[in-house]
Amino acid sequence: MSATRLSYAAAACLALENAMRDDARVIALGEDVGRGGIFGQYLGLQEKFGATRIIDTPISESTIMGAAVGMALSGLVPVVEMRVADFAMCAMDEIVNQAAKARYMFGGQGRVPLVARLPIGVWTGSAAQHSQSFESWFTHVPGLVVVTPATPQDNHDLLCAALACGDPVIYMEHKELWGLVDEVTPEARLPIGVARTLKTGSDITLVSWSRTVHAALEAATLAAAEGIRVEVIDLRTLWPWDRDAVLASAARTKRVLVVHEAVQVAGFGAEIAATVAETLGVRVKRLGGLRIPVGYAKPLEDEARFGATEILQSIRAFVA
């Protein structure tokens, strides 16, 4: 298989392009998709497939999502562009009460194979209404699949998997990963629900996803210089999440630290921590965002962020 260097945005664009070429049912709709999307994640696709498959819409998230649900029930496979996850709050009824429940309420006669792209995370200089992470909202809803890719390769492979899923997928790319460049093998495929162990270790298991994975790896490298052997797991998908991988690692290290950018209070890290504690009885801790709005001024924004330094401090305190 051949590899090429692609950005996080370009990798997803390639996955969508190939899916649209292979399956005429695949379409995309949302604001600014015709000009390539605000992050370049649809760049060139309208020129290749036309305005009837890469569809620019009015500024109305509920309308966009409602139309996509109807399209999916009618046999299409829509990719729904919400621009950022924060804006999807205007389409919660369509996501939670319509897309997520249709298969169950129609006894399997109607399915909603849509992919809703909801970019998450703190977005530099974008303040409180453009810097939120809502993973736990959607993992709480029966019927939804939740995906959180951290690398260009995973953004390619998991978008392919999401398009083939057959159920509504909340696809949460990070707003500050779009320019990340790495090797991508376009022929590769990855099933939903499989975590990846990025670094092996025996002293503590560090579980994360999305952009925080990169800070976790950096912290693990710093910890290694101090003789602390950290195992790092990227969940990649939050529902379903790879319980077996996390529990197997936790059983060996006896310590689990879950780290995520989303607000720590009621974050998805609590689900992982509770599962590990209830199943194995080993020590668990969490590190997440503060329960504060993200400020526009840089000093205030910095208060809402944490990185490798803070993760390393939590590791040190845990293994001491």
Identify each DSSP E strand in the chain by its residue range: 4-7, 26-30, 54-56, 77-81, 115-117, 145-147, 169-171, 181-184, 196-199, 204-208, 230-234, 237-239, 255-263, 283-289
Please report, as a single letter, which amino acid is at residue 64. I
Q: Coil, helix or strand for 107? A: coil
CA pair distance 245, 232, nearest whole angstrom: 11
Q: Which of 130, 156, 174, 260 is catalytic?
A: 130
CA pair distance 67, 70, nearest whole angstrom: 5
CA pair distance 226, 216, nearest whole angstrom: 15
140 catalytic residue (yes or no): no
User: Active-site positions?
Assistant: 130
